[in-house]
Amino acid sequence: MESIYDDNSEAQTRWCHRVMTSSEKFYEDEFLRILSASYDLKKFANTLTSDSDNLVEIISDEAGLDRVMRILGISDDINTILFQTIMARFPATMTLKSGKALASRLLDVCNIDQKNTFCQSTYRHALLLARDENGCSTLKKAITIADDILKSDFLELISLKAHFLSEDDLGISLIQHVLNLDYTRKATEDDTLLHELFAEFDEILPTCDTVELLNLASKLTSDSRLFLEFVKTKRGLLMVQIILGRSEEVDRVFWEAIRRGYTDLAITHHGHRIMLRTINVFEKRGNKNVYAQILRLVGYNAFYLSKQPIMGNAAVLHAINIHNPNCTEFIACGLQCHYIELSFLNNGSNIVEKLLGEVDEDNNKLPILFMVVEIVNCDEDTLVRLAKDEYGNRVLEKTLHVADYHHLYDLVDDIVDKLEPLLDTLRGSRGENIAALSSRPV
Q: What is the rounded CA–CA span in Å between residue 182 and residue 24? A: 49
Instruction: State the pLDDT at residue 276.
Output: 87
* pLDDT tier for residue 37 given thresholds of 50, 70 and 90: confident
Q: Is the pLDDT of residue 38 over 90?
A: no
Q: What is the rounded CA–CA span in Å between residue 266 and residue 298? A: 9
Instruction: State the pLDDT at residue 442.
Output: 44
DSSP string spanning 130-148? HTSHHHHHHHHHHHHHS-H
Q: Is the pLDDT of residue 440 over 80?
A: no
* pLDDT tier for residue 362 given thresholds of 50, 70 and 90: low
Instruction: State the pLDDT at residue 3.
Output: 52
Instruction: State the pLDDT at residue 1.
Output: 47
Q: What is the rounded CA–CA span in Å between residue 423 and residue 152? A: 57
Q: Calculate what percentage of the chain has a pLDDT beyond 90.
A: 59
- Rounded to two decimals, the pTM is 0.80
Give the CATH H-level superfamily of domain 1-146: Leucine-rich Repeat Variant (1.25.10.10)
Nearest one of 168, 147, 156 to 238, comparing CA atoms: 156
If you ran DSSP here, which 8-state letter would residue 322 be given? Answer: T
pLDDT tens digits, one per residue of 119-163? 999 999 999 999 999 999 999 999 999 999 999 999 999 998 998
What distance separates the 2 farthest-apart alpha carbons in the chain? 99
Question: Considering only 2-11, 151-160, 216-225, 341-350, which range has the smallest mean pLDDT?
Answer: 2-11
If you ran DSSP here, which 8-state letter would residue 421 be given? Answer: G
pLDDT tens digits, one per residue of 195-254? 889 989 988 888 878 899 999 999 999 999 999 999 988 999 999 999 999 899 999 999
Alpha carbon separation from 136 to 129, 140, 211, 361 (Å, rounded)? 5, 6, 31, 51
Instruction: State the pLDDT at residue 260.
Output: 93
- For residues 348 and 314, the answer to whether their CB atoms sit within 8 Å is no
Average pLDDT, the chain: 90
Question: Considering only 116-120, 190-194, 224-228, 434-438, which range has the smallest mean pLDDT?
Answer: 190-194
pLDDT tens digits, one per residue of 62-87? 999 999 999 999 999 999 999 999 99
Q: What is the rounded CA–CA span in Å between residue 200 and residue 182? A: 15
Main-chain dihedrals φ then ψ at residue 336, nearest 5 degrees: -55, 135
pLDDT tens digits, one per residue of 265-285? 999 888 888 988 998 899 888
* pLDDT tier for residue 60 given thresholds of 50, 70 and 90: very high
- Grouping H, G, I as helix, E, B as strand and the rest as coil, residue 267 is coil
Q: Is the pLDDT of residue 190 over 90?
A: no
Q: At what angle do helices 133-145 and 148-160 cross, to 10 degrees?
A: 140
With vertex at residue 265, the alpha carbon angle to CA 260 and CA 269, rounded to the nearest 5 degrees, is 160
- For residues 258 and 224, the answer to whether their CB atoms sit within 8 Å is no
pLDDT tens digits, one per residue of 193-207? 888 899 899 888 888
Instruction: State the pLDDT at residue 363.
Output: 63
pLDDT tens digits, one per residue of 320-338? 988 888 888 999 999 999 9
Q: Calculate what percentage of the chain has a pLDDT beyond 70.
A: 97
pLDDT tens digits, one per residue of 377-408? 999 899 999 999 999 999 999 999 898 888 88
- In angstroms, how far is CA 60 from the centroid of its own chain? 32
